Amino acid sequence: MPLDLTPYLPTQAEVTSSHVAEVLSRLRIQSLSLFPDVKTTTNSVFGNLILEPLATLLATYEIAAERVRSDMILSNIAQGIIYDCNFVTEYLKNYGVSADSGVPVIGTVRLKFDTNKKFIIDRGTHILFGSVGLFHIIAPEIGDVIVDMVGSSKTSNNWYALTKTGDNEYAVNLPVIGPAGVTVAKDSIAFTDLDIPELISIEAVRDFESGRMPTTLPELAVMAQAISYAANFADRGGAIGFLKRKLPNLVGVSPIKSGDDEMQRDKDSILGVNTGKMDVLVKGATTYVTDSVIISLAEYSSNDYRTALTLPGGIPNMIESVTDIDGNPVDNFYIYGTSSDNNRARYASAAFSDLEILGLRVTTQSLLAQDSSYQIIKNNSNYPKLDIANSGGIYKGHIFSNKLERKIKLVATGTKVINGVTKGVFYAEDMLSGEILEELFITESNSRGVIDFEASGIKAYHMFNGIDLYFETSSNSFNVSTTDTFQNAEIILYFRAKTANVLVTYRYDPSVQIVNTLLKSGDIQPVIDVLPKAFNTAYIDNLTINYKRGSAIVKKEQIKDELLEYFNSLVYDNTYDYTTINDIVLYGNAKGLDSMDITATVYHSLAEKWSLDGLDVIDDFVELPTKNLINFNATYDEALLYNIVGPRNINYILDRNKITLREVS
Amino acid sequence: MKGIKIDFNATGAVLDLDSMVSGFDAVNQDTLVNLGTQRGSDVIDKNRGSSLEALTLKSSSVISLQASLHVANIVAAETSFYIFSSDDFNEPDKLANMELQPIALTPNGLKLNTVTVSISGQYRGISTTLI
């Protein structure tokens, strides 16, 4: 089909005589080239009656052709220079943007329940803010969303765990997605069609990402420009383009790839062969969300309580305080860390990511604790010949486990001779998490039977993590011979730890959890190893601004407001500079900046010590100290357990009470 | 160089599509067309044409045959310069000179005699009447 230029033709006034004269000149040259003996002068019949009208027509079509080209230049469309909306609409579809591909609103909601139990939530559940804000849960995998009990184990990417947030109150944060253009403010309450009596409320954790309405072609063109970089994770620009398209209001996105100083996840290959890895650090808003939750710890030893720090907000940027539930400080608390996957993120390179497990240890005498309990049930009174009265165990707190109780079923299946020793074989099942261990052995003994963890390796260790268990036989002989009807004997062991509660106040960025969820989704899962992270925290302990006084009254509060906005939004590739500080001071009516004193504590991880293997042996932990960063321009190049803090992953947190304004003259 | 012939007569200018002019005749024809074209009437080329109409019919400057000499000099110069600058660059026999001489001023009009000379020395003398 020929191109119809009619929509692009200019009006008569838009065709200038100089343009026509220039076209006429070209036509004359062309004519003389083709027909050298034909007179083309303006006073000739051919020149005046044919070439001149032809030049006028040709000039209009040249303008039309230029307009067609303009409609294919994204920067022109973005400026609103559009000649044929139908064509531009179709053209922009080549970039994957169209009027129906607006950027949806993405946010995080908190569901509060009054009971600690497992809830199955339909992925199509309606979460309605106002009359038009219909949101759905972002579920990376096919199937329902599982909201499991406090301390339960992850079973899929659609799995979330409850956290105790108050007396008879348990909460979970879920990412949700809704139509573009809907505004949802922090703490807004949502209605739902969820028929769960235990559900107390659903509320917005913070202001939702506003999304973007694809109302105009210029906006679509801007979007197309942004994604003209391939929107994938093959390079830095692609990663930024992808995330900015999904979450247009992100304050900062900083991809760190192999070769960057800050990329340490690719340093563990013995042969030096690295697979493609990328850390993607995101910051959703200038200030983080502050949240307080009640965390239950399990007693490890007298006045020593431990648990994995599982927080409903996800990855914390900062632990502000750990107190008893009345807000009184505990004697001592320590944060430890380990990587849940030393293949993907070895040691502290997992810091500030979903792969980091933070453990909380509280040593105090002031916490009120609930006593532990232990129960053993067996289905066969004859065998195994366990003396229930004398068999037993305790559940000990484990620094990297948030489980407070265990219910383990052992099913006897027979015997097996290992290294010449006949042992009873059990299948073990963790009845709370559903985890099954195929073989577990009990060794014959004249006194006490022993659960042989070593024979079954690390999985058995994790299943019985923190359980100090012993069996005592009811006779002198613990005989596993087949004559004792060993088959199908069943023992159920129930442990509950001695527990105590603390109130943990922390800051976090809901965007990190959203990005985590997005990247787990099957249709956009990157082919390279992409690990979403929060920025490493540099907490500013002191910011003293020494200013020179001007003639007007200095607006100190204004200066503090702007300093807060400035420092808290500084992420790569925005770097700190004195000029901006000086401007802030000047706009606050001071004469200028004299000097500045600044100290900040840099966290390689929020953990102060790191477990290389995930075992709860604190004596083996490696020191991972925080550092005091005095000079903001310094690059922090000290690799601590595979973690480097540098310009690409540092983020400053500044509180108002840390700012001091001093007049020096 | 050749072009379509224009017949100039008492009723005006008429295209003669069956005839052609060539060489200095074509240049001479261009000169007459420019002389009779009102200067500024061409939207593309504002320099085209002459002030003949403006200085005679639309003003009262021609009050005597002597005064019409000034008009003739001005428009002859305008036309000469325009033809010099606009003629086809590969025209072999270009305009070299032009004379425009008033020969009669009557209540019915001004009669001018036009003579053009080519660079090769060819003369074309044509008497015309402007009504």
Any idea which of A228-232, A405-409, A581-585, A641-645 has the lowest mean pLDDT? A228-232
pLDDT of res. A490:
79
Peptide bond into A384 cis (omega under 30): yes
Best residue in A18, A35, A41 for a mutation probing chain B (most B CBs within 10 Å): A41
What's the CA gap between A39 and B97, in Å, rounded? 20
What's the CA gap between A622 and A605, in Å, rounded? 12
pLDDT above 70 (res A458): no
The better pLDDT of the pair A55, A551 is held by A55
Contact B44 A52 (CB under 8 A): yes
CA distance B22 to chain A (A): 9
Q: Find chain A residues with C-beta within 8 A of B93's C-beta.
A: none
pLDDT above 70 (res A476): no
Of residues B2, B6, B88, nearest to A32 (C-beta): B88
Contact A20 B44 (CB under 8 A): yes
Interface of B with A (CB under 8 A): 1-4, 6, 15, 22, 26, 29-31, 33-34, 37, 42-46, 48, 83, 86-91
What's the CA gap between A392 and A376, in Å, rounded? 8
Pairing outcome for strands A421-430 and A405-418? antiparallel
CA distance A37 to chain B (A): 4
Helices and strands, counts by H and E, chain A: 11, 35
pLDDT above 90 (res B31): yes
What's the CA gap between A89 and A87, in Å, rounded? 5
Tell me the DSSP string of A575-633.
---HHHHHHHHHHTT-SEEEEEEEEEEE-SSS-SEEESSS-S-GGGPEE---EEE--TT
Query: Which of A149-163, A228-242, A376-390, A422-436 is predicted most confidently?
Result: A149-163
Contact A40 B88 (CB under 8 A): yes
Residue A383 has, within 13 A of its CA and on its CB side, a CA count of 18
Any idea which of A26-40, A123-137, A359-373 has the lowest mean pLDDT? A359-373
What's the CA gap between A319 and A511, in Å, rounded? 18
Going by the DSSP 8-state scheme, the letter that residue A553 receives in this structure is P
Going by the DSSP 8-state scheme, the letter that residue A168 receives in this structure is T
Of residues B2, B43, B45, nearest to A39 (C-beta): B2
Tens of pLDDT, residues A41-50 = 989 999 999 9
Query: Which of A127-131, A331-335, A391-395 is predicted most confidently?
Result: A331-335
Q: Find chain B residues with C-beta within 8 A of A42's C-beta.
A: 42, 44-45, 48, 86
Q: Residue A448, class by beta-carbon neighbours within 10 Å (0-12 exposed, 13-18 middle, 19+ buried)?
A: middle
Q: Find chain B residues with C-beta within 8 A of A39's C-beta.
A: 1-3, 26, 30, 88, 91
pLDDT of res. A428:
83
Tens of pLDDT, residues A50-76 = 999 999 999 999 999 999 888 888 888
On whether the CB atoms of residues A148 and A174 are closer than 8 A, the answer is no
pLDDT of res. B33:
93
The tokens describing A503, both together, are: 């109130």
The tokens describing A262, both together, are: 């800050």
pLDDT of res. B95:
93
Of residues B43, B48, B90, nearest to A32 (C-beta): B90
pLDDT of res. A483:
43
User: Which percentage of chain A shows pLDDT scores above 90?
Assistant: 29
Residues counted in chain B: 131
Contact A39 B43 (CB under 8 A): no
Label residue A451 by pLDDT band (50, 70, 90).
Answer: low
> What is the average pLDDT value for chain A, to the nearest integer?
82
Contact B31 A20 (CB under 8 A): no
pTM score, whole prediction:
0.63
Q: Name the closest residue on chain A to residue B31, using Cα atoms.
A: A43
pLDDT of res. A412:
77
Q: Find chain B residues with C-beta within 8 A of A43's C-beta.
A: 29-31, 33-34, 37, 48, 83, 86
CA distance B64 to chain A (A): 30
Any idea which of A424-433, A622-631, B116-125 has the lowest mean pLDDT? A622-631
pLDDT above 80 (res A252): yes
Tens of pLDDT, residues A120-174 = 999 889 999 988 788 988 887 788 999 998 877 777 788 888 888 888 889 998 9
Query: Which of A588, A602, A661, A603 has the alpha carbon at shortest distance from A630?
Result: A602
User: How many cross-chain Cβ pairs, A to B, lie less than 8 Å apart?
Assistant: 62
* Single-letter code of the amino acid located at A351: A
Label residue A482 by pLDDT band (50, 70, 90).
Answer: very low
Angle at A636 between CA A251 and CA A354, to 5 degrees: 55
What's the CA gap between A306 and A334, in Å, rounded? 10
What's the CA gap between A432 and A465, in Å, rounded? 14
In three-state secondary structure terms, B39 is coil
The tokens describing A96, both together, are: 């994957």
> How far from A242 is each of A161, A306, A611, CA to CA, in Å?
28, 40, 35
What's the CA gap between B9 and B13, in Å, rounded? 6
The tokens describing A193, both together, are: 């069609």
What's the CA gap between A398 and A409, in Å, rounded? 21
Contact A38 B1 (CB under 8 A): yes
Label residue A275 by pLDDT band (50, 70, 90).
Answer: low
Provide mean pLDDT across the span A451-478. 60
Tens of pLDDT, residues A575-591 = 778 889 999 999 999 99
pLDDT above 50 (res A608): yes
Contact B3 A48 (CB under 8 A): no
pLDDT of res. A62:
92
Tens of pLDDT, residues A71-128 = 888 888 888 888 888 888 888 777 767 665 566 788 889 999 999 999 999 988 999 9
Reported in sequence order, the residue ranges of A44-140 that DSSP labels E, i.e. its strands, are 105-113, 119-121, 127-129, 133-137
Label residue A431 by pLDDT band (50, 70, 90).
Answer: confident
Q: Name the closest residue on chain B to residue A19, using Cα atoms.
A: B44
Contacts of A20 (CB under 8 A, 6+ apart): A52, A55, A56, A59, B43, B44
Contact B3 A44 (CB under 8 A): yes
Angle at A259 between CA A253 and CA A262, to 5 degrees: 55
What's the CA gap between B80 and B66, in Å, rounded? 21
Q: Find chain B residues with C-beta within 8 A of A36's C-beta.
A: 90
Contact A46 B88 (CB under 8 A): no
Tell me the DSSP string of A5-17.
-GGGPPPGGGS-H
Residue A660 has, within 13 A of its CA and on its CB side, a CA count of 14
On whether the CB atoms of residues A108 and A205 are closer than 8 A, the answer is yes
CA distance B33 to chain A (A): 6
- What backbone phi and psi angles, to 5 degrees, belong to A664? -110, -20
Contact B44 A48 (CB under 8 A): no
Tens of pLDDT, residues B71-89 = 899 999 999 999 999 888 8
Q: Name the closest residue on chain A to residue B24, using Cα atoms.
A: A39
Interface of A with B (CB under 8 A): 17, 20-21, 24, 28, 32, 36-46, 48, 52, 55-56
Tens of pLDDT, residues B41-65 = 998 888 999 998 888 877 667 778 8
pLDDT of res. A27:
92
pLDDT above 50 (res A573): yes
pLDDT of res. A529:
85
Contact B2 A37 (CB under 8 A): yes
List beta partners, residue A504: A293, A322
Query: Which of A84, A104, A64, A68 has the alpha carbon at shortest distance from A217?
Result: A84
The tokens describing A406, both together, are: 């265990």
Tens of pLDDT, residues B12-25 = 888 898 999 999 99
**Mutual angle of helices B24-36 and B65-86, in 10-degree steps:** 130
